[in-house]
Amino acid sequence: MYISVLRRISILMISLLLSSFWVNAIARKSMDKVIDEAFKNAAIQYAGLTDQISSTPGLLPHSILPDGTLHRVKPSSWVSGFFPGSLWYIYEYTGNDAVRKDAERFTSYLKSQKNNNMTHDIGFMLYCSYGNKWRLCGKDKETEDILLSGARALASRFNAKVGCTQSWDTGKCGWSFPVIIDNMMNLELLMWAYKESGDISFRDIAVKHADTTLKNHFRKDYSSYHVVSYNPETGDIEIKQTHQGYSNESSWARGQAWGLYGYTMMYRETKNEAYLNLARNIASFIIHHKNMPKDKIPYWDFDAPNIPHAYRDVSAGAIICSALIELSNYVKKDEADEYLAVAETQLRALSSPAYTAKIGTNKNFILKHSVGYLPGNREIDVPLSYADYYYLEAMLRFKNKVLKK
Ligand code: GLY
């Protein structure tokens, strides 16, 4: 009797283990398929996008204008690096040499920006384009020179009194020395420059900027302000505000996404536990927010007034997704599983017809439904080049982290 109960229990346990093995296997296989189909789709869409810009050399695609035409930008735009960066990711997945040639061609458009010291966005511009070229094609002198020059241009915007690099060169809104949360993203170029050149000043600037932002940009609930402006003579805070969000005290979704990604990246580069803790707290704010929809693609602002009828911001969803996958590397299993479950929900949603455009539509961008600058009445419910970029990056990260196990 006793033995037969034991036998039944062990049979039950074995069948449970086997069934969870098969459930996992099927789930894994299907995410493989989701990602494979998404990259096939991306390759076709971006071939079409490449054709569209062949007639306007020197310009790069960014979005769709209100009149329905393709929004093209000059290499000096903050978004110029995302299109070549997406081509690098498609090349990374497909290994297609024609895509690599296109990626090289459009990356070379940004060469002219290597000494651009008029914007903090030089990190986005050069690191998404030339940074991916460096990573995928190996070291070459020209790429090294362009990335190091860009890092020097960014470092020249550092003010030791404030402890930050200045984001915008602008007297707009009365700001003397505006620093935006987005600026955390540009520190990756400085950390690359430190590792390649051995010049510790690049690292010191990046760390100081991250420390100052950690101190001044965040609220008690770990949401962040968009803009903190400083007095450049004294380093005192002048004002804390929004520019692209709903209100000064609201939580602009993409701002939260930049903070999460930025501090996760800075933890990777420095192993400073304060950055990891902040990233985990930002993740918790985002994931457990009462206004986070079921599919985990946030509204453009977590405090938008017309939720649940507010616009979604797919770009914020894609950035959060990519950041959570990386953050899962640095935490205990339960927490990692939670981040990866959210990321999987996001990837499945983004890859569905709700957000992925049909081939040949959407001016050949991959994703629909992003919001660039709603208070400025610009880029509302449109595709954005950086939404596509972080989506492709997130899929590669998910594949490398989860599916290769
Ligand atoms: N300033 C970059 C953004 O719109 O997120």
340-398 pLDDT, tens digit per residue, is 999 999 999 999 999 999 999 999 999 999 999 999 999 999 999 999 999 999 999 99
Ligand 1 site, residue 313, Cβ cutoff 6 A: no
> What is the rounded distance in angstroms from the CA atom of residue 77 to the CA atom of residue 158?
21
> What is the rounded distance in angstroms from the CA atom of residue 371 to the CA atom of residue 246?
12
Mean pLDDT over each residue of the chain, to the nearest integer: 94
> What is the rounded distance in angstroms from the CA atom of residue 183 to the CA atom of residue 160?
16
Q: What is the pLDDT of residue 182?
A: 98
Ligand 1 site, residue 121, Cβ cutoff 6 A: no
pLDDT digits (tens, 9 = 90+) for 243-260: 999 999 999 999 999 999
Ligand 1 site, residue 315, Cβ cutoff 6 A: no
Q: What is the pLDDT of residue 86?
A: 98
pLDDT digits (tens, 9 = 90+) for 276-331: 999 999 999 999 999 999 999 999 999 999 999 999 999 999 999 999 999 999 99
Q: What is the pLDDT of residue 19?
A: 45
* Token reading at 266: 């800075």
Q: What is the pLDDT of residue 402?
A: 83
> What is the rounded distance in angstroms from the CA atom of residue 229 to the CA atom of residue 177?
5
Nearest to 257 by CA among 185, 197, 189: 185
Is residue 16 very low, low, confident or very high in pLDDT (cuts 50, 70, 90)?
very low
DSSP 85-106: HHHHHHHHHH--HHHHHHHHHH
Ligand 1 site, residue 149, Cβ cutoff 6 A: no
Q: What is the pLDDT of residue 28?
A: 52
Q: What is the pLDDT of residue 22?
A: 42
- Spell out the residues 6+ positions from residue 329 whose beta carbon is closer than 8 angstroms to its own: 336, 401
Q: What is the pLDDT of residue 403?
A: 83
- For helices 333-350 and 314-327, the axis angle rounded to 10 degrees is 150
Ligand 1 site, residue 244, Cβ cutoff 6 A: yes
Are 32 and 344 spatial neighbours (Cβ–Cβ below 8 Å)?
no
CA 395 / ligand 1 centre spacing (Å): 22
Determine which one of 102, 121, 313, 388 is catalytic: 121
Q: Whose C-alpha lies nearest to ligand 1, atom 1?
A: 182
Q: What is the pLDDT of residue 174?
A: 85
Pocket test for ligand 1, best of 77, 78, 128 (most atoms within 8 A of CB): 78
Q: What is the pLDDT of residue 12?
A: 46
Q: Residue 172 pLDDT more than 90?
A: no
> What is the rounded distance in angstroms from the CA atom of residue 85 to the CA atom of residue 130?
8
Residue 186 — φ and ψ, nearest 5°? -80, -10
Q: What is the pLDDT of residue 404?
A: 79
> What is the rounded distance in angstroms from the CA atom of residue 131 to the CA atom of residue 25?
35
CA 386 / ligand 1 centre spacing (Å): 9
pTM of the predicted protein model? 0.93
Q: Which amino acid is at 100?
A: R
Please compute the mean of the pLDDT values over residues 140-155 and round it to a whole number.
98
Q: What is the pLDDT of residue 171?
A: 66
**Residue 244 CA: which ligand 1 atom is closest?**
4
Ligand 1 site, residue 254, Cβ cutoff 6 A: yes
> What is the rounded distance in angstroms from the CA atom of residue 126 to the CA atom of residue 123?
6
Ligand 1 site, residue 182, Cβ cutoff 6 A: yes
Q: What is the pLDDT of residue 23?
A: 44
Determine which one of 182, 301, 303, 313 is catalytic: 182
Q: Please say if 182 is a catalytic residue.
A: yes
Share above pLDDT 70 across residues of the chain, in percent, rounded to a whole number? 92
pLDDT digits (tens, 9 = 90+) for 21-67: 444 544 555 999 999 999 999 999 999 999 999 989 999 999 999 99
Q: What is the pLDDT of residue 285?
A: 98
